[in-house]
Copies of this chain bind each other. A is one copy, B any other.
């Protein structure tokens, strides 16, 4: 589906915002100005004629208080326009904010486009305590300080690589529980792992057993430079993304010198571009099978094959990784390794919750399951 044209936009005059309202807001930004608008629990207590601690109890419900006193406090609060304790102060006092930091490897943009990441995020959110929220942070190298300054009680890394070492060190010293989903092993970071290496070997073995010998791969981004590039030994050596490396090395257990292209991202468009490079060559050089490191990449490869007039699996075998449900792929049933993406997130969410409660936690490892679809077949005899 192609779309044309860019929608325009218009700024309209606000009819609901009085200037006064806006000035109030800005006045609030002058730190420590005499701000009459905001009243504190102490004010409420005074007005209700009780002590601060009693007023606190009236709101938090922790501890016992007579109905009449509570009513008096609540009434005073109402009159002062006070609506409950300031979360910032509470979090300092209690040493708890209720926030779990989720550190994304990529720009939010890319993470959101990856169905596996989304599934994991969904899993995490399912397991967080009801009042808790997920604070999305990115670790774009530059982002370290944001990790160090952000308010959260526990951290979940969506894949964590070496450049996070310092942040991890700091978190560890602060006794902040940490969980990494498919990250490199790190001391003090609980690991939620996937058998990327094994699974990749399994599916490569399937391709091998079908009889393919001229095989190429399309990998997930391998390093910091997210651009379409050939998988050279240099690139492999400098790679930082554990997942991509594991999947590559797993496949190389079967095809020892497996090469191909590293995609700039896990999207079908990037898979398309990479596949074109692999397929748009002389017939006798063209691979008879493509091992893609994600289903999105595989879908791109399928499209590229179509565009070159190649039929799958007759002329080309394509296998993926993930087991993503991809809209519009109804004509193909992709051969792939199905991973429990949501479960990974749930396990991570459960782990941080438990660790915050002081319980002990063990590492968790998930395994993928091979799904043989209709995109894989023996190579055609030439």
**Chain A contact residues, CB within 8 Å of chain B:** 1-17, 19, 21-22, 24-31, 35, 37-38, 81-84, 86-92, 94-95, 97-99, 101, 107-109, 112-113, 118, 121-122, 125-126, 130-138, 142-143, 145-146, 148-152, 169-170, 173-175, 177, 185, 187-188, 190-191, 268, 295-296, 299, 303, 323, 325-330, 332-334, 336, 338-340, 343, 347, 355-369, 371, 373
Task: Return the chain B residue nearest A190 by Cβ.
Answer: B17
Given contacts A97-B151, A340-B6, A365-B9, contact A108 B122 (CB under 8 A): yes
Given contacts A328-B328, A366-B7, A369-B7, contact A132 B146 (CB under 8 A): yes
CB–CB B17/A363 < 8 A: yes
CB–CB B363/A83 < 8 A: no
| A115 to B: closest C-beta gap in Å | 9
Chain copies in the assembly? 2
The CA of A169 and the CA of B82, in the complex, are separated in Å by 11
| A375 to B: closest C-beta gap in Å | 9
CB–CB A360/B328 < 8 A: no
Q: Chain B residues with Cβ under 8 A from A15's Cβ?
A: 363
CB–CB A16/B83 < 8 A: no
| A123 to B: closest C-beta gap in Å | 9
Q: Chain B residues with Cβ under 8 A from A97's Cβ?
A: 88, 151
Task: Return the chain B residue nearest A195 by Cβ.
Answer: B10
| A96 to B: closest C-beta gap in Å | 9
Q: Chain B residues with Cβ under 8 A from A359's Cβ?
A: 26
CB–CB B330/A303 < 8 A: yes
Q: Chain B residues with Cβ under 8 A from A10's Cβ?
A: 364-367
CB–CB A177/B340 < 8 A: no
CB–CB A16/B173 < 8 A: no
CB–CB B356/A29 < 8 A: yes
CB–CB B83/A173 < 8 A: yes
Q: Chain B residues with Cβ under 8 A from A361's Cβ?
A: 17, 22
Q: Chain B residues with Cβ under 8 A from A91's Cβ?
A: 88, 91-92, 151
CB–CB B149/A338 < 8 A: no
Known: A14-B191, A21-B188, A92-B92. 10 other contacts (CB 8 A): A8-B367, A10-B365, A16-B185, A22-B360, A38-B174, A83-B173, A86-B174, A99-B150, A131-B149, A328-B329
| A138 to B: closest C-beta gap in Å | 8
The CA of A11 and the CA of B29, in the complex, are separated in Å by 50
Q: Interface centre among A89, A95, A356, by most B CB within 10 Å?
A: A95
Sorted nearest first, the 10 A-B pairs with minimum C-beta distance are A328-B328, A26-B358, A1-B329, A29-B358, A108-B125, A83-B170, A28-B175, A7-B369, A14-B363, A9-B366
Q: Chain B residues with Cβ under 8 A from A325's Cβ?
A: 1, 3
Task: Return the chain B residue nearest A24 by Cβ.
Answer: B175
CB–CB A83/B169 < 8 A: yes
